[in-house]
Structure 1
């Protein structure tokens, strides 16, 4: 007969071991970085985690008091750290309190244990990334900081008060959904922007194309085209970066579809994936041909996506595209959707991708029509990139980019046509 006590005991021991591991991970980071000093390190942090885990397991009602009782010894230790080491940073103190809470989460529930592991990993990464984070902040000028703060405040203030329903006064649009898509697209670009600023202004050509494509493939194309006007011999390198930035648009569209309408993803994944693979293969060939100048660095002047005016402009474009697409489908059927997708894609792929994903989710159009429209929008945008290469860059750049993106577009069209 199985012991009824053994299973719960084994589970508790396992959860406590998780708490110990989280504490040890954070403690090792604090000691290795020498940020904890004499205050706390690889032995002390596991004890804090065990403290929280055992209190939560046996005296859950006393957890607030248990955390509160740490205030006195932490204060004394912190004052001693200031006195002897001259360090007034609060990071280690906050890490201690968070470690106690994470320890408590491990014995609170299964979900709590999973969350503790995830948060513990994030905390460790955050603590160990002190240098890169401070370097990134130093690279951001005052104007960028003000723009980011303004945008974030507007998001936090505006989003909760927007009605989450279709309004007649807004021509049947849902204001909160429109603004949510603005925040989502801007956040996606901002994540790539942060990575680009963290790595530095001078990057290798492959990374320039990838990050530039996620932030703004148009900006990358213009930057590379202008570079060839100054140094014409670099046209192959610049063509490589331009093509990479353009094909990054396809995985970005897949991310947007997955967020808005996951059921549409299988329909759009095949053509966009094939276009990505073909584009990457062409870019790899150009990269190989440019081996003589691979030591050159390319630089794209990317702007902070967290700016209010461009965000509002995208919201307006998205709303218009959504209304036009619905009306075009009602009046002209599938051909109306395709025409709208092409015209919209000339200016912005995100707007038509989100629009058609939403319409397919609502049942207004079929998944096949939505997928075809998204691919058409992507093809239209690649045509624009080729045009920019011709108009702004050199003739050599225009030929290479047109050949590469033209092949990608033709393959995408054929895949959709025979799907």
Structure 2
């Protein structure tokens, strides 16, 4: 028979070891930083974590007092560092207190230990990326900062005030859910935007296409088409950028489905995955042929996606598509869903993807119908990119983009017809 006390002791020892590892990880990073070693380093931070872990394990009610007791000598040591090194940065001081909390979290519970490991990893990455973060901040102009602040402020202030229930005046739509989707889609775009700014203005064409696809595949297609009218010899590179931006749209849709309705993922991963694979293979061929051209850094402007007007527009589109799709399914059946998916897909794949995921999660439409609707929307938007290439770009660009995206669309159409 297994001794429960022995099992509990082994679990406690294991979690204390996790706390020690967290402290060692953060301590090594602080030891290698420019000035943190004068304050605390690879030996002190594991002790901080152990301090928090042991207090939480045996004297949990004393944890606030333990933090205050530690904060006093830390403040004295911090003042000494200011006097010796002239560094008034608070990063290491705050990190020390956070390490104590993470150590306590590791021995609090199983979920706490997992969360402590995740947060410790994020903290280490944040600390080690000091130079990258500062360079990124230096590249952001005042207009972009104001745009980001306004958007974040609206999200934080408006979200708690938005009703979290279905409203008859809005045709049964939950306004808070709509706003959450606005923040989610803008957040995806912002991640790609940050990566693009970190890489720098003179980034390669491959990165331009991929990041442009996450921010706005349509804007990337328009920019590349206009670029070919200025310099005809760049049509293969611009074609690759347009194709890459269009292909990235499919993994982006998969991410959205995974977040909103994971149960729908098995229905869409095959068609969208096949469309991604087909496009990626042909895109590699286009890129390989483009290497013969003289310029490989054709760049497109990627604007900060944290802008209030486009966000409100997307919210309105999403709410309208959600409402119309449900009505169309009731009145016209599956054919109504497919018609709405095609029309909506011409304007925005995110809206139809989130709509179908939501309706399938609610049981309003079968998952097979929702998956087909998402594929139809993706095909419609893919064909739109080919049309933009012909309309705004050169004939060479139009032929190349149409050949590739046409093949990708055929894969999606076959899924719709055969499944």
Is this a same-fold pair by TM over 0.5?
yes
Say if 2:376 and 2:416, in contact at 8 Å, map to a contact too: no
Question: Runs of 4 or more off by more than 4 Å in structure 1?
Answer: 1-5
**1:5 Cα offset (Å):** 4.5
- Aligned equivalent of 1:96: 96
- Aligned equivalent of 2:55: 55
Q: Within 1, Cα distance between the matches of 2:58 and 2:363?
A: 52
- Aligned equivalent of 2:217: 217
- Aligned equivalent of 2:383: 383
Pair 1:137-2:167 in alignment: no
1:251-400 equivalences under 5 Å are: 251-293=251-293, 296-400=296-400
Q: Within 1, Cα distance between the matches of 2:80 and 2:34?
A: 16
Report Cα offsets for 1:35-74 as digits up to 9, x if no partner: 3131111111111111111222222221111111112211
**1:320 Cα offset (Å):** 1.4
Q: TM-score, normalised by structure 1?
A: 0.96
Say if 2:71 and 2:97, in contact at 8 Å, map to a contact too: no
Q: Within 1, Cα distance between the matches of 2:17 and 2:362?
A: 47
- Structure 2, unmatched stretches of 5+, are none
**1:295 Cα offset (Å):** 5.8
1:13-162 equivalences under 5 Å are: 13-162=13-162
Report Cα offsets for 1:205-249 as digits up to 9, x if no partner: 222111110110011111211221222111111111110100111
Say if 1:360 and 1:367, in contact at 8 Å, map to a contact too: yes
**Aligned residue pair count:** 419
Q: Within 1, Cα distance between the matches of 2:244 and 2:216?
A: 12
Q: Within 1, Cα distance between the matches of 2:32 and 2:80?
A: 20
Q: Within 2, Cα distance between the matches of 1:99 and 1:186?
A: 32
**1:294 Cα offset (Å):** 7.5
Q: Within 1, Cα distance between the matches of 2:358 and 2:2?
A: 54
Higher deviation after alignment, 176-185 or 103-112: 103-112
Higher deviation after alignment, 306-315 or 51-60: 51-60
Say if 1:35 and 1:92, in contact at 8 Å, map to a contact too: no
Q: Within 2, Cα distance between the matches of 1:307 and 1:385?
A: 24
Q: Within 1, Cα distance between the matches of 2:38 and 2:284?
A: 52
Higher deviation after alignment, 356-365 or 368-377: 356-365
Say if 1:219 and 1:301, in contact at 8 Å, map to a contact too: no
Q: Within 1, Cα distance between the matches of 2:294 and 2:275?
A: 25
Higher deviation after alignment, 234-243 or 49-58: 49-58
Q: Within 1, Cα distance between the matches of 2:333 and 2:59?
A: 65
Report Cα offsets for 1:312-370 as digits up to 9, x if no partner: 00111111112222222233222221111111111111111111222222222222221
Report Cα offsets for 1:131-181 as digits up to 9, x if no partner: 011111111111111111111111111111211221111122111111111
Say if 1:209 and 1:243, in contact at 8 Å, map to a contact too: yes
Q: Within 1, Cα distance between the matches of 2:176 and 2:406?
A: 38
Q: Within 1, Cα distance between the matches of 2:153 and 2:239?
A: 39
- Aligned equivalent of 1:169: 169
Pair 1:201-2:198 in alignment: no
- Structure 1, unmatched stretches of 5+, are none
